[in-house]
C-alpha cells in the first residue's frame, strides 16, 4: 500500500463478535471478517455487494490492544489489515462472501498482495462461530483440490476487532483519483462487477 495520511491515530475500543449482530426487519444481521491485503481494497469490494450493510476497515488477528496503523505496519503487533462486513443473510450469504473474498485476492501468496508486503497483508479469515469455521475450511479444501498452489489463508477465531483510524474509512470513495485507487482498486472493482454481476448492487 502506498504511504498513508499522517492524521493522528485514534484509540478505539475493541468489538467482540457476539455484540456485532443487530436486528434488521426481524432478522439478525451477521458479521464476517476478512483480510486480503490492503483494507482499502477489501472495504471497496464489499461495499459494492448487495446485502452488505456496512464495511469497516480495521485490525485483527494479533495481540496488541487498540493498535494504531503505524504499529500494525511495523509487523510487530501480529495484526492484519481486515474488513469487518456486516450483512443481511436474507440478501447475501456467508458462502457468497467467501466466494468473492477468495476471488478478489491471491490466497496462495504468503504475507503479500502485489506490492503490499508484510504479515499485516496476509490472507486471513476470522470466524465468528463453528458454522463460519466449517464453511471456510471446506471452501479452502475445495480450492486446494483445484489449484496447483496451496492456499495459505489463515483461519482463526475472532477475538477482538479494532476499527482503523477515520482517514482509512471509505478510502476509495473519497480518493478515486489517487494512483493506488486508480491502478490497484479500480481494476479489482471492474473484475468484481464483471464476474459477480448477480451479487453487485445496493443493499
pLDDT digits (tens, 9 = 90+) for 109-140: 999 999 999 999 999 999 999 999 999 999 99
Q: Give dist(CA 143, CA 47) in Å, integer.
A: 25
Domain-wise residue ranges, the chain: 16-189
- 38 catalytic per annotation: yes
Q: Report the pLDDT value the prediction gives residue 10, as an integer from 0 to 100.
A: 28
Q: With pLDDT > 90 as the criterion, what percentage of the chain qualifies?
A: 84
Q: Report the pLDDT value the prediction gives residue 22, as an integer from 0 to 100.
A: 56
3-state secondary structure 88-132: CCCCCCHHHHHHHHHHCCCCCCCCEECCEECHHHCEEEEECCHHH
Active-site annotation holder among 38, 52, 97, 164? 38
Q: Please say whether the structural domain 16-189 has been given the CATH code 3.10.180.10.
A: no
Give the global pTM. Answer: 0.86
Residues forming beta bridges with residue 27, ordered by sequence position: 24
Amino acid at each position: 500500500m502506498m504511504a498513508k495520511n499522517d492524521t493522528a491515530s485514534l484509540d478505539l475500543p475493541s468489538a467482540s463478535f457476539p455484540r456485532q449482530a443487530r436486528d434488521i426487519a426481524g432478522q439478525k444481521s451477521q458479521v464476517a471478517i476478512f483480510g486480503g491485503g490492503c483494507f482499502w481494497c477489501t472495504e471497496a469490494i464489499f461495499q459494492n455487494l448487495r446485502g452488505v450493510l456496512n464495511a469497516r476497515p480495521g485490525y485483527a488477528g494479533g495481540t496488541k490492544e487498540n493498535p494504531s496503523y503505524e504499529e500494525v505496519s511495523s509487523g510487530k503487533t501480529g495484526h492484519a489489515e481486515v474488513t469487518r462486513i456486516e450483512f443481511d443473510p436474507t440478501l447475501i450469504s456467508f458462502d457468497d462472501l467467501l466466494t468473492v473474498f477468495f476471488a478478489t485476492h491471491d490466497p496462495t501468496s504468503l504475507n503479500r498482495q502485489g506490492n503490499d508486503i508484510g504479515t499485516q497483508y496476509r490472507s486471513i479469515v476470522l470466524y465468528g462461530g463453528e458454522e463460519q469455521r466449517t464453511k471456510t475450511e471446506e471452501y479452502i479444501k475445495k480450492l486446494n483440490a483445484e489449484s496447483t498452489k496451496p492456499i495459505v489463508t489463515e483461519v482463526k477465531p475472532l477475538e477482538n476487532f479494532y476499527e482503523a483510524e477515520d482517514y482509512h474509512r471509505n478510502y476509495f470513495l473519497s480518493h478515486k483519483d489517487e494512483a493506488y485507487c486508480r491502478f490497484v482498486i479500480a481494476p479489482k472493482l471492474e473484475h468484481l462487477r464483471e464476474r459477480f454481476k448477480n451479487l453487485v448492487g445496493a443493499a
